Amino acid sequence: MATPESMDDRDGWIWLDGKLVPWRDARPHVLTHALHYGSGVFEGERIYGGRVFRLAAHSARLIRSARLVDMDLPWTRAQIDAATREVVRANGLQSGYVRPLAWRGSEVLGVSGLGTDIHLAIAPWAWGAYFSPEARLRGIRLTMATYRRPSPESAPGESKATGLYIICTLEKDRAIKAGFDDALMLDWKGRVSEATGANIFLVIDGKLVTPRPDNFLDGITRRAVMGLAQARGLTVEEREVWPDDLARASEVFLTGSASEITPVRELAGQHYQVGPVTPRLIDDFAKLVLRDDCEGFGESTHLADVELGKAA
């Protein structure tokens, strides 16, 4: 079996604080504040046909995530967009994944982040499906997570902040060790929220149902899928989803930049079919990501309203 290529030992380029640097040279110091206290925010983006899907929406969300954790990025959305395009071209990528990451530096080390500089790196690489092709075809298996998504009084869950993902890592690892592909997380009230890195949809009585984002990430792919479903004439309901709803669903699937649209065949002892709704949306999404306007805000108008005029 081939040894996986290490993420820090690759050919290519990373955009770091305003310039392209060789991949192996993009290194922060070990006393970086973010390494010790999780003071960073990030995005996950997909490259299709040499362009980043919903690039403007992702860059806007990065800026908003930073503001929610009291970080002001010294780059505008337009500058982040341009830097992303530059580094994707420099690496010659037609398809793959992009990871923008902003973090507090090593100028100060302590619980307080005051006095630290804000850094930004954008790293793209060739990357296939998040789940195996077989799993995506047949559907993946989910277990129920032990940890829950925090309440708004506990953490800024609308921010894609690095520190908030420790419970996701723990639950993802626990699921894999138990023979599952991922875990479904409830929120602090016991409502269905999301998987460890993706939003969830259920088909119930012919309607597409998804949890209302309540202190968890309102995914950009999630928004795109809602638009595709409505274009097909499907009724889309954003509402409170409870564990009892899982038994009423005929289909379940996840959405996210990494997972794209991935059907679920098993969840908490319930078994689901992989069609007919999910495959149609997968086909629609495959066409959407190659459209000429794929880099813009698209259905993520909530992000456009928040950030345009502030970060353009």
Residue 264 near residue 228, CB atoms below 8 Å: no
Residue 199 near residue 208, CB atoms below 8 Å: no
Strand (E) or helix (H) holding 42: strand 40-42
Peptide bond into 276 cis (omega under 30): yes
Strands 140-144, 182-186: pairing kind? parallel
This prediction has a pTM of 0.93
pLDDT in tens, 129-183: 788 777 777 899 999 999 999 999 999 999 999 999 999 999 999 999 999 999 9
Task: Outline where DSSP puts E strands in 86-227.
Answer: 95-104, 118-125, 140-144, 182-186, 192-195, 199-204, 207-211
Of residues 49, 43, 117, 105, the one with CA closest to residue 80: 43
Residue 222 near residue 215, CB atoms below 8 Å: no
> Where in the chain do CATH 3.30.470.10 domains reside?
13-128+295-307
Task: Please give the CATH number for the structural domain made up of 133-275.
Answer: 3.20.10.10
> Where in the chain do CATH 3.20.10.10 domains reside?
133-275
The listed CATH number (3.40.50.1950, 1.25.40.10, 3.30.470.10, 1.10.760.10) that belongs to domain 13-128+295-307: 3.30.470.10
pLDDT in tens, 58-95: 999 999 999 999 999 999 999 999 999 999 999 999 99
Position 164 scores a pLDDT of: 97
Residue with tokens 């880099």: 295
Active site residues: 160
pLDDT in tens, 266-289: 998 899 999 899 999 999 999 999
Directed axis angle between helix 55-68 and helix 220-231, to 10°? 130
Residue 22 near residue 268, CB atoms below 8 Å: no
CB atoms within 10 A of CB 134: 10
